[in-house]
Chain A
């Protein structure tokens, strides 16, 4: 028996001495700090504050996640690498593969670490659904810079999305806004009465095409054809034959490369679609490799408004210096804002002890995040609603004309900016 007791004591001593924070019992500090219903993170003096990242960093959507991971790195550098004076900020990046099962694995991995304070992610809405459920169950706050599905938050009319869970927020716009913006542009600015939509079976493109369709109909237009292709298709001529036969004034296809390449290249052969001013894409196509295609000249694109202002230019400059290329996707600024909102909320809600130990109450952190109001971010003035939509959702419609050579110039060629009316 003696040896066992010795083992037990040795284990405790060993754990305290060697493993430090990971094994340290939290009850010691209970006297001074009472955690809320969701628990709290206790950070020892000098120990790091850990932020998790759930992003798609491999596969065909890798650029979406990569872009945001880089933005978070820059945000941490801008913060000086430390939070609350002496706690270094550490990140842990988990790949969500842009899929629900990837979101589950990534969520479980982060949820398993009790030191994770908050999570920036996910990249894709499909991965957000399970990840949100897991993280919400642990009281971990999660904020995404690129999820846009309405079901993750709300329909902006007060109806909670069916996937919404407490602790979820986002700085990306809600699809409903982009659908509305694109429909407004097509109907009012272009004077289109008939529109065709094409999606590729991806939840993002399908959601956006449908949002566009319903807004366009509400405005009084007609959806001449709502069709779809499959990822991996190359021969778009049959489907374009159908699209042309429906005689649309504009074709909205918020899909990705390479399928969109095939559409624009093959549309040239159809007299009814040869005018590239009838082609209308979305932010998934605002990339250098797409706009160099000759047939995209004249095409319109909708997407989140590119931030302006000196602070944003600074971010781009740092990005280029650090990673050797210009930002590769549209959501780096959103991720930058998201992680800075986390920092602000941590600073607001953390309780410090005299010896430097910090307690971050999870419930208080979530409340602090939701209380974000008129936060001056790169993407605008952010105010969070009760379902977690924080974006200052300005949507730009830009056009690719012969004078625009780079993606930045295209992004700068704004024809229309949609600033949604305040909704309940």
Chain B
């Protein structure tokens, strides 16, 4: 580290100050490690075996120095036009230093917990962490030995993180892929085991023994399992990133037209076949998870039209979901105040009608409002809807807090849809319709009007877009899709309670479309699966679910603001700025931290 100054002078690179940076990162890492220890995560997850005999809690604790070492070892950003320094011992050293800093921080915390009882304030700083029982932080050892081991592990793992940076890019990516696969498969054990068993039962492919090979009886990945997965992922990634290999897309483009068409049909058929078999293979519980995600997907596709296409920020979207659910419940439950007990399909036109009317009712007063005024007013409408459904005042109609039960099942001819597997198909049809509608609207006259309005209302109007029609139609289309979601929700659960319709639903749907990639249907699909489906599967995080969710949201938005799969146009918009910044960097301006606020998108 002492040599960096001289080197910098020779290479004309601004002094990288790698040492302070590594220490700073190390301290941040130490703070994270202390945080997960003191808030009880390490202890809560110490019962869940993840890799062999390594529990999730310890894995969490040990992943910190690895990550910090990796980050600390990252080469300094270099301005364009300058030569980057070759990776070498400096990266490893930075990793080691960062690991040491983290380890020292955590060790100080261990000493603190060992000498004082801080449980009066920090509820989860239990004696099990250091003093009694399993002594998680000192690995079951006495304080001195435990601290030594802790520090040693942190330094070693920090160094290992740094070593990753020395590897050539291809190998580094392969190692990271291997780590990712091992972690993913270890965490997803119940789902993976179920799928493998399901494949065996449905398709008669011999997959179930694989489960026993990969996983121990306790649900942790077995040692041979880890080795196999890591090796497979490493090799596959290495193969896939061979340099002379052409990207799949270019290869496809080189195919003759006829073969391409055949290929496309074949892929479509295969996808449909897979989806048809899916619920049978994954069993009722995973189907149920998919159904939950599917209902959110319907809503997300609807909100995508309102927010993504038309640029109207709606935070009260749950109101339309509730209207759909309650309309279905009122019309199909023999117990409701209407008490007609119709079949589901008869109720559907009324769901559309009720949702459309409520869309109009919300849309009209907010015609003149924009941006954040709209956000809070729609949020208000969402709350108004929930409170009216819960209220004693309207109890004779909506059942108040007791809700409406015995909502009718969907029937297809003589077949009653009861199981989650069967429900999946119905839901799938609705989602396909919604996705089709989204694509159709996107390229239609009204779709172009929406997007023009999103970019600039005044200009759009000057160009002849009827703002009133455009806004109201966006609200109505969005409301109807959410209404479908509500209708399916009601019939799936079989009962409707007002507590299901709180503001968190609206927020989740909004988060899904933005994290997935606004105005992009594949993005919304992926966003729903990741943000709604995964939390259902990762139930072991229980009370820490929202904590992790919140942290991941921030991280995701900082790293990939355009979402998982952005729509082409939007990605361009977001990268415009980067391009501009690069140009500016090349120009060699000395100052950093420029902001370009004018590129704000009006929505």
With A19-B197, A129-B495, A203-B497 already in contact, the answer to whether A11 and B402 are too (CB < 8 A) is no
For A111, the chain B residues whose CB sits under 8 A away are: 284
Among the stretches B2-10, B203-211, B583-591, the one at the interface with A is B203-211
Which of the residues A10, A22, A226 comes within 8 Å of B197, measured between beta carbons? A22
B204 near A11 with CB under 8 A, answer yes
B288 near A109 with CB under 8 A, answer yes
Q: How many residues of B contact A (CB 8 A)?
A: 43
A108 near B402 with CB under 8 A, answer no
For A228, the chain B residues whose CB sits under 8 A away are: 391-392
The answer for the CA separation of A13 and B536 in the assembled complex, in Å, is 34
For B387, the chain A residues whose CB sits under 8 A away are: 230
Which of the residues B209, B392, B420, B498 comes within 8 Å of A226, measured between beta carbons? B392
The answer for the CA separation of A84 and B212 in the assembled complex, in Å, is 28
A117 to chain B, nearest CB (A): 18
For A22, the chain B residues whose CB sits under 8 A away are: 197
As a 0/1 sequence over residues 201 to 242 of chain A, the CB contacts with chain B under 8 angstroms (1 = contact) are 111011100000000000000000010101000000000000
The answer for the CA separation of A304 and B549 in the assembled complex, in Å, is 39
Taking CB atoms and an 8 Å cut-off, the chain A residues in 122-180 that contact chain B are: 126, 129-130, 133, 137, 149, 151, 162-163
B500 near A99 with CB under 8 A, answer yes
Closest A residue to B536 by beta carbon equals A105
B204 near A112 with CB under 8 A, answer no
For B497, the chain A residues whose CB sits under 8 A away are: 99-100, 126, 203
Which of B201, B205, B401, B500 gathers most chain A CB within 10 Å?
A: B401
B405 near A11 with CB under 8 A, answer no
Residue B492 interfacial (CB < 8 Å): yes
With A202-B401, A230-B387 already in contact, the answer to whether A162 and B406 are too (CB < 8 A) is yes
Which of the residues B204, B284, B292, B539 comes within 8 Å of A101, measured between beta carbons? B292
Residue B257 interfacial (CB < 8 Å): no
For B397, the chain A residues whose CB sits under 8 A away are: none
Which of the residues B200, B205, B390, B492 comes within 8 Å of A201, measured between beta carbons? B390
Taking CB atoms and an 8 Å cut-off, the chain B residues in 419-436 that contact chain A are: 420
For B576, the chain A residues whose CB sits under 8 A away are: none
With A104-B492, A130-B494, A201-B390 already in contact, the answer to whether A58 and B204 are too (CB < 8 A) is no
The answer for the CA separation of A101 and B197 in the assembled complex, in Å, is 27
A310 to chain B, nearest CB (A): 30
The answer for the CA separation of A103 and B403 in the assembled complex, in Å, is 15
Judged by DSSP, the binding face of A is: helix
For B539, the chain A residues whose CB sits under 8 A away are: 95
For B204, the chain A residues whose CB sits under 8 A away are: 7-8, 11
As a 0/1 sequence over residues 292 to 321 of chain A, the CB contacts with chain B under 8 angstroms (1 = contact) are 000000000000000000000000000000
For A202, the chain B residues whose CB sits under 8 A away are: 401, 499
The answer for the CA separation of A126 and B493 in the assembled complex, in Å, is 11
A100 near B209 with CB under 8 A, answer no
Residue A191 interfacial (CB < 8 Å): no
For A101, the chain B residues whose CB sits under 8 A away are: 292, 489, 493, 500
A112 near B493 with CB under 8 A, answer no
For B345, the chain A residues whose CB sits under 8 A away are: none
The answer for the CA separation of A100 and B402 in the assembled complex, in Å, is 11
As a 0/1 sequence over residues 466 to 510 of chain B, the CB contacts with chain A under 8 angstroms (1 = contact) are 000000000000000000000001001111111110000000000
Closest A residue to B334 by beta carbon equals A162
Which of the residues A11, A62, A137, A203 comes within 8 Å of B403, measured between beta carbons? A203
Residue B542 interfacial (CB < 8 Å): yes
For A18, the chain B residues whose CB sits under 8 A away are: 208-209, 212
A205 to chain B, nearest CB (A): 8
With A10-B206, A11-B204, A62-B543 already in contact, the answer to whether A99 and B499 are too (CB < 8 A) is yes
Q: Which residues of A contact B (CB under 8 A)?
A: 7-8, 10-11, 14-15, 18-19, 22-23, 57-58, 62, 95, 99-101, 104-105, 108-109, 111-112, 126, 129-130, 133, 137, 149, 151, 162-163, 199, 201-203, 205-207, 226, 228, 230
A-B contact pairs, 7 of them (CB 8 A): A99-B500, A105-B288, A126-B403, A126-B499, A162-B406, A201-B401, A205-B401
Which are the 5 A-B pairs with shortest beta-carbon distances?
A206-B401, A108-B288, A112-B284, A112-B285, A109-B285
Known: A57-B542, A230-B387, A230-B390. 9 other contacts (CB 8 A): A11-B205, A23-B197, A62-B543, A101-B500, A104-B492, A104-B494, A149-B402, A205-B401, A226-B392
